[in-house]
Amino acid sequence: MSIYREYDIRGIFEKELNEESITRLGYALAEEMREFGEYVAVGYDARSHSPILFEYLAAGLNAGGMNVLGMGMVPTPVNYFCNYQEFDGITPCASVMITGSHNPSEYNGFKITINKAPFFGEQIYALGRKIDAMGMPSKVERQVIEIDALSRYKRFMIESFGHLRALDTKIVYDCGNGVAGLVIEEIFKELGFNAKGIYVDPDGTFPNHHPDPSEEHNLEDIKKLLASDGDIAFAYDGDADRIAVLTPRNNIKGDMMALLYAMKMKNPTVIGEVKCSQVMYDTLRQRGATAVMYKTGHSNLKVKMKELHADLACEVSGHVFFADRYFGYDDAIYATLRMLELVQEGVDLDDEIAKLPKVFSTEEIKVKTTEKEKFPLMAKLKELLQTPPASFPSIKEIIDVDGVRVIFEKGWGLVRASNTTPVLVTRFESTEQSEALRYEEALNALIQEAQNQLKV
């Protein structure tokens, strides 16, 4: 059951993801999909075992009565894109992306969309319980129809952003040997950009650096290239649904990207996660936008966007979701082109960042715990926050939409249980660096007290 996570299904190839477990997964998923149609689009990332898992999954889906539309190796956004396309009269009712995203090369996983909605949370846990109790389905004749989703996606992007052809900005980019290179090179070439890429060829062993652009040390090479040859830089994670945007002066995080994108939208509704800077929420509201704070997680944000008819959503880590002029899912390639659109329209990204209120923010700080203890630990922490020690900083408000975001006089601190790993994730922000440190020390002391009380 450990492979069934909040947002996806993930594990180690052969040890947890093997022919039996994945064939059964496909069979059980077919039952969830059949009420919406009979075709499911399936793609995979650059990992060496992804094509093998495709065959296992297709066998299970076929046994469960679904026809598989095989798109081969693609970025995750191309997989999502297929849910809105027709291929020779066939429109898929669901899609599955086989990807380990930014995890180590021995990992792989499955991101599932059914009826244009993410399949996640209790849906995944219930599916896991069902699979755990079932036997191996009987094999049936292979029914896989090959489709060219990559060309369809690239054509859509080139046509949608043809107005960028006159752009003379020097662009550099790092695909991290993930799958972004399958589309970004041709799109940039067709649009006539002055662009130079590194680590463009897909290689699931990730020989140059880990494909996670939210970690600063993975950006060393692209920063050097930006310094010598570029005006703006982009970096992508392993499956191209997360982006990093770098300028000579800034590494622009997802929440600040959202502020920039929203500048060209009229009174937008923008959803951020609990880790987003207060500067983002306050500035959006000052500009006339509706700003909503919600749970972390790409599936959570997609569902909330649809519920609120929002225009844009973001995570600090670089997931950016556009419903404005797009389909409402996270797509790093599309986010790249929308950022270049701002540049073409004369937006000086660094100047806009410089205009914002100055705050001191920590990166995500992780507190190790266990899968069993992390949620009881959060419950105990919430209890202690009701009657904190006399020395604890003055609390103005506690927001508990996802963990606890404690609002203090000059900033905030966040503690939440990760849905994917055995850690508590913390982040702190203040208008004064000393206060940010004070909030961090105070909340860490309270976490330690909660741990001590749970052990008694």
Tell me which DSSP letter residue 215 carries.
S
Strands of the sheet containing 194-198, edge to edge, are: 194-198, 170-174, 232-236, 243-246, 251-252
Report the distance separating Cα 61 and Cα 27, nearest Å: 5
**Closest to 395 measured CA to CA, from 383, 414, 412:** 412
Helix (H, G, I), strand (E, B) or coil at 110: strand
> C-alpha distances in angstroms, 386 versus 389, 408, 410, 440?
10, 14, 20, 18
Phi-psi group of 139: left, alpha or beta (phi > 0 → left; psi -120 to 50 → alpha; rest → beta): beta
Q: What is the CA radius of gyration of the chain?
A: 22
210 alpha carbon, distance to own chain's centre:
16
Name the one residue in this structure whose structure tokens are 């936008």: 289
- Quick check: 71 and 149 in contact, CB under 8 A? yes
Whether the Cβ atoms of residue 299 and residue 7 lie closer than 8 Å to each other: yes
Backbone torsions φ then ψ of 2, nearest 5 degrees: -65, -20
Helix H or strand E segment including 158: helix 149-160
- Backbone φ and ψ for 384, nearest 5 degrees, come out as -65, -30
In whole angstroms, what is the distance from residue 107 CA to residue 238 CA? 12
Tokens of 19: 């022919």
Helix 332-344 / helix 149-160 crossing angle, nearest 10 deg: 20
Phi, psi dihedral angles at 259 (to 5 degrees): -60, -40
Decide if 101 is catalytic.
yes
- The residues with which 98 forms a beta bridge, in sequence order, are 44, 110
Using alpha carbons, select from 134, 142, 76 the residue that is nearest to residue 109.
76
Q: Please, what's the b/e burial string for 56-83 (b: 16 or more CB within 10 A of its CB; e: otherwise)? A: bbbbbbbbbebbbbbbbbbbbbbbbbbb
Q: Of 101, 105, 214, 317, which is the active-site residue?
A: 101
Q: Which residues are catalytic?
A: 101
